[in-house]
Amino acid sequence: MHKVKSAVVGASGYSGEELVALLSRHAHVELVAVTSRQAAGKSLGEVFPRMAGSASSGLKFTEPSVDALIASGAAAVFLALPHGLAAEFAAPLRKAGVQVIDLSADFRLKSAEVFAEFYGEKHPAPALLADSVYALPEICGDAALQGAGLLACPGCYPTSILVPLVPLLRRKLIAPDSIVINSLSGVSGAGRKADIPFLFAECNESLRAYGAPKHRHLSEIEQELSSAAGEKVTVNFTPHLVPVTRGMISTIVVQPVHGEDAKAVEKAWADDYRGRSFVRIVPHLPDSKHVTSTNYIDLAARDDARTGRLLLFSALDNLVKGAAGQAIQAFNISRNWDERTGLS
């Protein structure tokens, strides 16, 4: 099969590294450019010693530049950049007809006003919002992705929360105002950047909530939950930082509308996710170590008969299903390939 020339911008961060590692083994991809301001001039093998000896290890990092990306012949560009910066690449690349798979938050929200509220700055490219797809395949479905030019890939928190909740809100099984979410995230979620709070000696033997009560990703979480519910949904969401490198679990408490039980939850999941490769409904409470370095999201539900509420649990790898793996899954579908290509 003809290979699609692809590039990764911001390739030296953790999500970027994961993207590069996965794409370099992807059967239908030819990696033609990887960019990084810090790593420019060095090879993949030098910057990522894990990759030494692999077929792509000689590929050199270049300075990020729209012109150079276009010149590389890339038909698909993955953006692993901070929000705000991603749009600066996405706009001209789209104009040039290049497919953009964006891992930042720039094109996840439908409303530039909500972006401004949560991110504290004007949206950098509001005209593109209408054309972007919120690229969570299990939620948006394959049709929305096929042929899409701008994929706005959700990150780890939204994925871990939307996959368990959306089928329940769509069916009006749970009360939209009853949702309480607690998530635990590994430290790689903070990115490969030199910040004291993420030093080993600060994170090891440390457990801490942060970002409550209004984490930025709430904006997209509530956008998608509201869309599923057909009404405005507002949730409690508390993220926690815990000492693992990779992994995320979410524990969600909800009120069923008519006494629905865990079986009804599992049935809704099974119905909506029939045929999807990366959702597993598991008999035990999900453990992040069972999904590390995979694109799976594990789900479980339990009745809390004593309070009449339901407990929902999910686990994923924040760098795979919560970032690079999900982006590739969506990209696969956009190209009409098996969603598992390069991911198993």
Residue span 128-157 as binding mask against a second copy, x where in contact by CB under 8 A, dash where not: ------------------------------
**Residues with active-site annotation:** 156
Q: Smallest distance, Å, CB 297 to a second copy? A: 11
Q: Smallest distance, Å, CB 131 to a second copy? A: 29
Regarding 214 and contact with a second copy (CB under 8 A), the answer is yes
Of positions 89, 157, 273, 313, contacts a second copy by CB under 8 A: 313
Question: CA quadruple 315, 317, 319, 321: dihedral positive or negative?
Answer: negative
Instruction: With CA atoms as reference, report the closest residue to 14 among 163, 151, 190.
Output: 190
Angle at 104 between CA 177 and CA 34, to 5 degrees: 155
Name 256's bridge partners.
Answer: 174
Of positions 208, 231, 259, 336, contacts a second copy by CB under 8 A: 208
Q: CA 158 to CA 151: how far, in whole Å? A: 15
Pick between residue 273 and residue 331 the one whose CB is nearest to a second copy. 273
Contacting range for a second copy; rule: CB under 8 A; set: 46-54, 75-83, 99-107, 151-159: 46-54
Of positions 288, 326, 329, 334, contacts a second copy by CB under 8 A: 288
Q: CA 270 to CA 268: how far, in whole Å? A: 5
Regarding 306 and contact with a second copy (CB under 8 A), the answer is yes
Regarding 192 and contact with a second copy (CB under 8 A), the answer is yes
Instruction: With CA atoms as reference, report the closest residue to 228 among 251, 254, 205, 210.
Output: 254
Site for a second copy in 226-265 (CB under 8 A): 234-236, 238, 240, 242-249, 251, 253
Helix, strand, or coil (residue 237): strand
* Binding-site size, a second copy (CB under 8 A): 78
Helix, strand, or coil (residue 315): strand
Helix, strand, or coil (residue 86): helix
